[in-house]
Structure 1
Amino acid sequence: MRFLVSTIGSRGEAQPVTALAVQLKELGNEVKVVAPPDFEDLVTSNGVEFTPAGPTLRTVTAVKLKPEDLGRLAEESVREQFRVVKQAAEGADVLVAGGALQHATRSVAESIDAHYVYASFCANTLPSPHHAPPAMLGRVPVNGTPEENLAQWDQQRHFFAHSRETLNAERAQLGLAPIDDVRDHIFGDAPWLAADPVLGPWPGPGELVQTGAWLADDQRPLSPALDAFLDDGEPPVYFGLGSMRGAQDAAATAIESARVLGKRVVLQRGWADLRLSDHAPDCIAIGEVNQQALFRRVAVVVHHGGAGTTTTAAAAGAPQIVLPHMYDQYYWGEQVERLGIGRSAQAVTTEVLGDVLQLAEQAAKVATLVRTDGARVAAQRLMELNRAS
């Protein structure tokens, strides 16, 4: 069978998409991944064919955009998605869209009579009266009554509608009828939830396929310098913001709080290029790393609240401090608090860090419940879906 798996998101979307592609390939299928050019090495190093789409995200996110620029970039993104996905999907049996704002994938699937599956990596990015929508453009919705939650979901429809004319123009070129509701068109009739059922359960109503999180089995060794640092004392505190453009002072505050409590720190530079303020031996700065291996050897994981990092830390049994910036990150902060395995905070203070250090036993218990086979489950279900047609 032939599969195309696409995303236009950051590493939080590219990594699970790659994990799914690896499992599909191991099961004997032909697989292509469409993603931003930032993730070519991630995909190809796993032996999967890669097609770049759009600009380099690391460059785009480094520039502060004006509101009018956002609209122009959205239209350019839709046209680019259609161009790339249409070419890459030739001969595909199933097209999978992993993550938000993928305007082209379903339309291309329709045009070639292929199956289409939209997969979300977080429950609160899919409409439900039982939760508010994710944070958008600085506004963080608050859970309310079912009626209030649905009203908030309706208010967010306009985020999708901006690209409707461009979407329909591209559909017309494929011989397809126009659509009215862009959001529901992208989500499809039966979206999947690629999140761990303990960490991020679907609240209902209605049933959907929840496969578990799409995690790769990362076998990369830690660098000799990091390995030696970890061996040279008690488990440190990890601080990393992934692809977020976090402020340098957030890292400095976290390091100061850790030092007050006698804890060492592993600082991941990330896209914000975070730096250590001094050369003291109680801290080490690192680049890209095998988080699965590292998180098993730290006392606390401080991070931005991405779905992948939250799940990896939970599976490793590490207590967490979530510093949410946007979108689903506030949701993941709520989930670690709900499970008693961490805190959601605006900054790492000595008080917050001290409290979270006491949650190690609960975090270890929850770790035994986190599934690590979600990508395999999803790959098998996708193959069954195609066979059933």
Structure 2
Amino acid sequence: MRVLLSGIGTRGDVQPIVALAVELRERGHDVRLCVPPNFLDWVGGFGFDATPIGIAMREPRGGSAGTVPTPEQMREMVRHLVTNQFDVIASAMEGCELIVGGGAHQYAVRSIAESRGIPSVVALYAPVVLPSPDHAPGGEPGGDPVANMQRWADESRAWDQRFLELVNDNRRRLGLAPLSDVLNHVLSDEPWLAADPTLGPLPSTPGMRVVQTGAWILADEEPLEPALEEFVAAGAPPVYVGFGSMPADQAAGRTVVEAVRSVGRRVVLSRGWAELSLSDDADDVIAIGDVNQQALFPRVAAVVHHGGAGTTTTAARAGVPQVLVPMFSDQPYWGSRVRALGLGASVPRAELSVDSVASALRVALEPRVANRAAALAGDVKGDGAAVAARLLEREYA
């Protein structure tokens, strides 16, 4: 097969697509990739010559990360992003027989596929993205089903206000009929759910046939840097702290570090996109850049993180307790699942303090939680990308 894979967003949105690309290539298929420009070099390290799409989500240091765009600037940015997707995907998919888009903001994938008469698949990374009476948009599981569906109707109208005209303008360029509901079009009637069924079970989805493959995990064999290896081996297992691609501030990082210290643990601080820094040079903490979480997490006492799908899954597979500090999107959902499964605790970002994080850590470090995390690790599968590749072969090869 000749397959185009599109990943748009932060590392958590792009990495699963790369995992599927590697799996498909190993099976002998011709794979093309569209990724944001800040991931081109990283993807190139896997031997893929990718096409840039969208914007670099990571603001360069010293840039305008603190400025708030005007409403007109936001409208222009959205217009550019939607049109750019149509232009880039239409060009990159020449000769392809199938398009796979990762994430809920793939505005062009289905329209381009429709215009070329080829199939497409949209894969989502969290159950909470699926319209369901079991949860509100971006919310935790539960609540009144009727009220939840009303909120989904409101969410659909909000999508139409932001994107419908733009998507229809681009569909018109392709000679396609206009849409009346952009959210349902983007998600499709048969989306795939690239999330582990133990961590993120499939909710009820009226009107949709959802295929759950399991999480698309990119294998990582990179060894730990010598300084980190030496730090980890020098004492009792430390606590990992990191917020990934989130725009956390320095105060948040220092608050969590002090909380970890207050419960008597050493700290591995991941700088992340926020470039978190240390407040002192004490020997009980080390700051690191990008790291192989698959190698590090089995050797820590707990993982404190933002609640992204990828980090939650990696920590669960490592059998290590977690403390989540959800900020937005699907992160509150993963926090609720970690609590429900007995894998740890969560602290809302608005309630972040040394005391609140320390209290959550005491829960996560209890022997019963550590034992539960270790016992559940074997239930969290790592073969989702292989499952997805086999399905693509069966359905479309």
Scaled by the length of structure 2, the TM-score of the pair is 0.93
Partner of 1:48: 48
Partner of 1:235: 237
Contact 2:156–2:183 (CA under 8 A) maintained in structure 1: yes
Cα distance in 2 for residues equivalent to 1:324 and 1:68: 29
Q: Which of 314, 324, 328 is matched with 1:312 structurally?
A: 314
Please say if 1:151 is aligned against 2:146. no
Partner of 2:192: 192
Sequence identity (%): 48
Cα distance in 2 for residues equivalent to 1:311 and 1:157: 29
Using the TM superposition, give the Cα deviation of residue 141 of structure 1 relative to its aligned residue in structure 2, in angstroms: 7.4
Q: 1:133 to 1:86 in 2, by over 3 A?
A: same
Partner of 1:14: 14
Letter in 1 for 2:213: T
Letter in 2 for 1:45: G
**Equivalent position SS for 1:254:** helix
1:168-207 correspondence runs (5 A)? 168-205=168-205, 207=209
Partner of 1:380: 390
**Equivalent position SS for 2:388:** helix
Deviations 1:63-105 (A, max 9, x none): 4333433222111101100110000011111111100221111
**Equivalent position SS for 1:156:** helix
Letter in 2 for 1:336: V
Cα distance in 2 for residues equivalent to 1:68 and 1:282: 48
Range with bigger deviation, 361-370 or 53-62: 53-62
Using the TM superposition, give the Cα deviation of residue 384 of structure 1 relative to its aligned residue in structure 2, in angstroms: 1.2
Contact 2:307–2:335 (CA under 8 A) maintained in structure 1: yes
Partner of 1:3: 3
Letter in 2 for 1:55: I
Using the TM superposition, give the Cα deviation of residue 380 of structure 1 relative to its aligned residue in structure 2, in angstroms: 1.1
**Equivalent position SS for 1:153:** helix
Contact 2:5–2:21 (CA under 8 A) maintained in structure 1: yes
**Equivalent position SS for 1:58:** coil
Deviations 1:186-236 (A, max 9, x none): 111200100000000102246421000000110111111111111111110
Q: 1:159 to 1:12 in 2, by over 3 A?
A: farther
Contact 1:22–1:48 (CA under 8 A) maintained in structure 2: no
Q: Which of 79, 86, 105 is matched with 1:82 structurally?
A: 86
Please say if 1:369 is aligned against 2:373. no
Q: 1:156 to 1:141 in 2, by over 3 A?
A: farther
Please say if 1:345 is aligned against 2:347. yes
Partner of 2:122: 118
In structure 1, stretches of 5+ residues that fail to align are 135-139
Q: Indicate the RMSD between aligned Cα atoms, in angstroms.
A: 1.5
Deviations 1:136-175 (A, max 9, x none): xxxx678422111100111111332122122112111111
Contact 1:141–1:152 (CA under 8 A) maintained in structure 2: no
Please say if 1:244 is aligned against 2:231. no
Letter in 2 for 1:383: E
Letter in 2 for 1:147: V
Deviations 1:312-334 (A, max 9, x none): 01001111111011100000000
Q: 1:338 to 1:66 in 2, by over 3 A?
A: farther
Q: Which of 85, 105, 108 is matched with 1:104 structurally?
A: 108
Using the TM superposition, give the Cα deviation of residue 251 of structure 1 relative to its aligned residue in structure 2, in angstroms: 1.6
Q: Which of 71, 94, 97 is matched with 1:93 structurally?
A: 97
Contact 2:2–2:96 (CA under 8 A) maintained in structure 1: yes
Contact 1:9–1:100 (CA under 8 A) maintained in structure 2: no
Cα distance in 2 for residues equivalent to 1:11 and 1:160: 24
In structure 2, stretches of 5+ residues that fail to align are none
Cα distance in 2 for residues equivalent to 1:178 and 1:203: 30
**Equivalent position SS for 1:5:** strand
